[in-house]
């Protein structure tokens, strides 16, 4: 006998960014076909009694198999990275197709598709990284790529091989305004970092902990303010990525007070790690070297307040996977490196949601609706994937996660599914874990084990960004 649905999830306690309701969820052809009581039978059925049912996470800032300078390599490709995402409750990832200086953006996109095709296990879109905004890129490549579904791009104010001048940033913002794209900005002052690094080197300070000393809050605060000024001049919204602490948040609040459309993202490392994790004089701190660096407890509090109070729209992992004990990773060339040569970035795709759920929802700092908004709905909206992704509603893709809010897990790298040889959160106990993840109605992870299929993830062209409304004088 034909059944009404391919799959029915019974007794779901659903939470979205705005609502909480009990229902059965009927899934047909990978989409949510019905929400209601006592739905007809499905070919398969799952009983969600006792579980919280949330939309699959959208990780809008992660780096997978990104081409690196000679000798350096990211540990995760699209298979291992998305496998890890699925096991952590994330069903959409948005990594970066990165232009090289002197190279074409179109070529970077084509190369990146080859890296993802046949490997991803959950759906994916691409941001672009614009490293060389030549007239050809600004006038031809970018407008075409935006029309084809690459409607967001990241630009850098630091890193020699990626950074843009102020003049170049303004030109990129002008293209974004004209063609309705969203620019993500990495805000750190490059010259200040270079000067501080020289001074530290002259004093013989090379250990990983000096990474944080070379990139103090002031360096991020200044660049954040400058980025806000560029947005105001070009009259276009921007999103400031990986905001690490109080002084940058103050700049963003100041912008909100002036009614400026400045959006902001933060990441687990600014809530759960601190400069102490960069270590003493030993090398283990290299595991936590990322930019901006983790700061102190006071800054962690400021980031929590920013999440609760609406300064941030998006919570991403910034998963940037380099192995610790590896000549292509943190021990580049097979040896311990002075801090400025340690590959920047830490892994976090799989731990993003459990850490925020535990520290945020279970500890009462944010509610479950804020959790869903920050980790799924807002990123889907801001990057043009809503309503297909980021919510539980009729017609949306059946990207759904069952959360066991009672389950306590002590994070250990051995439990995770990335290809990195460490997690910075080793030994930390969290409460609340995703126990079943569905991607377009198919189980991709069950009980902390991968259950999906390599290559089942699809590329998602992005529409125009839908930015949330900010109230003048108040972050919402």
How far is it, in rounded angstroms, from Cα 221 to Cα 208?
22
Which residues does residue 13 pair with via DSSP β-bridges, in sequence order?
A: 22, 52
Q: How far is the CB of 63 from ligand URP (least distance, A)?
A: 6
| Region from 106-114, 180-188, 352-360, 402-410 binding Zn ion, contact rule CB under 5 A | 180-188
Residues in the chain: 476
Site membership for Zn ion, residue 186 (CB under 5 A): yes
| Inter-residue contact 14 to 392 (CB < 8 Å) | yes
Q: How far is the CB of 384 from ligand URP (least distance, A)?
A: 21
Closest CA relative to residue 392, chosen from 94, 5, 24: 24
Touching Zn ion, residues 30-49 (CB under 5 A): none
User: How buried is residue 321: exposed, middle or buried, by Cβ count under 10 Å (0-12/13-18/19+)?
Assistant: buried
Integer angstrom CA distances of residue 379 from 64, 251, 275, 315: 18, 22, 28, 8
Report the Cα–Cα distance between both ends of the chain, in Å, rounded: 50
Residue nearer to Zn ion on the CB measure, 12 or 238 = 238
Q: Please work out the total of residues on this chain that contact Zn ion, with binding judged by CB under 5 A.
A: 2
- Residues lying near ligand URP in the complex (CB under 6 A) are found at 63, 186, 242, 290-291, 318, 320, 344-345
Residue nearer to Zn ion on the CB measure, 13 or 318 = 318
How far is it, in rounded angstroms, from Cα 228 to Cα 252?
8
Which residues does residue 154 pair with via DSSP β-bridges, in sequence order?
A: 129, 184
Residue nearer to ligand URP on the CB measure, 63 or 418 = 63
Residue nearer to ligand URP on the CB measure, 83 or 163 = 163
Q: Which does 287 bind (CB under 5 to 8 A by kind): Zn ion, ligand URP, none?
A: none
387 preceded by cis ω (within 30°)?
Answer: yes
How far is it, in rounded angstroms, from Cα 43 to Cα 464?
37
Residue whose structure tokens are 């002197």: 102
| Inter-residue contact 308 to 366 (CB < 8 Å) | yes
Helix (H) or strand (E) holding 402: strand 400-410
Residue nearer to ligand URP on the CB measure, 12 or 182 = 182
| Inter-residue contact 123 to 57 (CB < 8 Å) | no
Residue nearer to ligand URP on the CB measure, 310 or 347 = 347
How far is it, in rounded angstroms, from Cα 73 to Cα 66?
8
Q: How far is the CB of 440 from Zn ion (least distance, A)?
A: 26
| Region from 34-42, 138-146, 186-194, 251-259 binding Zn ion, contact rule CB under 5 A | 186-194
Q: Which does 24 bind (CB under 5 to 8 A by kind): Zn ion, ligand URP, none?
A: none
Residue nearer to Zn ion on the CB measure, 108 or 401 = 108
Would you give the binding string for Zn ion spanning residues 309-348, x where CB under 5 A is met? ---------x------------------------------
Q: Which does 290 bind (CB under 5 to 8 A by kind): ligand URP, Zn ion, none?
A: ligand URP
Q: Which does 249 bind (CB under 5 to 8 A by kind): ligand URP, Zn ion, none?
A: none
Would you give the binding string for Zn ion spanning residues 134-173, x where CB under 5 A is met? ----------------------------------------
Residue nearer to ligand URP on the CB measure, 345 or 359 = 345
Q: How far is the CB of 138 from ligand URP (least distance, A)?
A: 22
Residue nearer to ligand URP on the CB measure, 316 or 391 = 316
Tokens coding 52 = 């919280």
Helix (H) or strand (E) holding 18: none
Residue nearer to Zn ion on the CB measure, 76 or 318 = 318
HSE value, Cβ hemisphere, 13 Å, CA-based, for 307: 35
Q: How far is the CB of 156 from ligand URP (least distance, A)?
A: 7
Q: How far is the CB of 344 from ligand URP (least distance, A)?
A: 3
Q: How far is the CB of 273 from ligand URP (least distance, A)?
A: 12
Q: How far is the CB of 213 from Zn ion (least distance, A)?
A: 19
Q: How far is the CB of 170 from Zn ion (least distance, A)?
A: 19
For 373-398, letters b (16+ CB in 10 Å) and e give bbbbbbbbbbbbbbebbbbbeeebbb
Binding site for Zn ion (CB under 5 A): 186, 318
């Amino acid at each position: 006998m034909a059944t009404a649905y391919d799959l029915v999830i019974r007794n779901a306690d659903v939470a979205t960014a705005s609502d909480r309701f009990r229902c059965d969820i009927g899934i047909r052809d990978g989409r949510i076909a019905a929400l209601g009581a006592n739905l007809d039978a499905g070919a398969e059925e799952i009983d969600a009694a006792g579980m919280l049912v949330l939309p699959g996470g959208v990780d809008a800032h992660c780096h997978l198999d990104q081409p690196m300078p000679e000798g350096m390599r990211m540990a995760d490709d699209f298979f291992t990275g998305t496998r890890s995402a699925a096991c952590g409750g994330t069903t959409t990832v948005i990594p970066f197709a990165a232009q090289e200086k002197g190279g074409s953006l179109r070529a970077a996109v084509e190369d990146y598709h080859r890296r993802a095709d046949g490997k991803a296990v959950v759906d994916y879109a691409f941001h672009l990284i614009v490293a060389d905004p030549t007239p050809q890129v600004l006038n031809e490549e970018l407008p075409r790529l935006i029309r084809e579904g690459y409607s967001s791009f990241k630009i850098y104010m630091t890193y020699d091989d990626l950074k843009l001048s102020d003049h170049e940033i303004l030109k990129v913002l002008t293209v974004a305004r004209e063609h309705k794209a969203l620019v993500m900005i990495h805000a750190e002052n490059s010259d200040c970092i270079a000067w501080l690094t020289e001074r530290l080197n002259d004093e013989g300070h090379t250990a990983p902990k000096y990474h944080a000393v070379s990139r103090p809050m002031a360096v991020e605060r200044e660049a954040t303010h400058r980025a806000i000024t560029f947005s105001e001049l070009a009259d276009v919204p921007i999103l400031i990525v990986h905001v690490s602490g109080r002084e940058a948040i103050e700049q963003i609040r100041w912008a909100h007070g002036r009614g400026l459309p400045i959006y902001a993202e933060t990441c687990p490392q600014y809530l759960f790690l601190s400069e102490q994790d960069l270590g003493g004089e030993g090398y283990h701190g290299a595991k936590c070297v990322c930019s901006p660096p983790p700061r102190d407890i006071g800054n962690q509090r400021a980031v929590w307040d920013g999440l609760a109070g609406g300064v941030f729209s998006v919570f991403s992992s910034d998963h940037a996977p380099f192995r610790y004990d590896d000549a292509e990773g943190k021990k580049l060339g097979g040896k311990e490196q002075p801090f400025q040569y340690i590959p920047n970035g830490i892994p976090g795709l799989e731990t993003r949601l459990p850490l925020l759920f535990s520290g945020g929802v279970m500890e009462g700092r944010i509610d479950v609706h804020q959790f869903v908004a920050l980790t799924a709905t807002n990123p889907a909206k801001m990057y043009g994937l809503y309503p297909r992704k980021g919510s539980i509603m009729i017609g949306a893709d059946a990207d759904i996660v069952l959360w066991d809010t009672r389950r306590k897990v002590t994070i250990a790298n051995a439990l995770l599914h990335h290809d990195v040889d460490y997690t910075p959160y080793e030994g930390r106990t969290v409460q609340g874990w995703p126990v079943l993840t569905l991607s377009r109605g198919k189980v991709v992870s069950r009980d902390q084990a991968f259950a999906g299929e390599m290559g089942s993830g699809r590329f998602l062209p992005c529409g125009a960004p839908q930015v949330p409304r900010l109230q003048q004088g108040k972050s919402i």
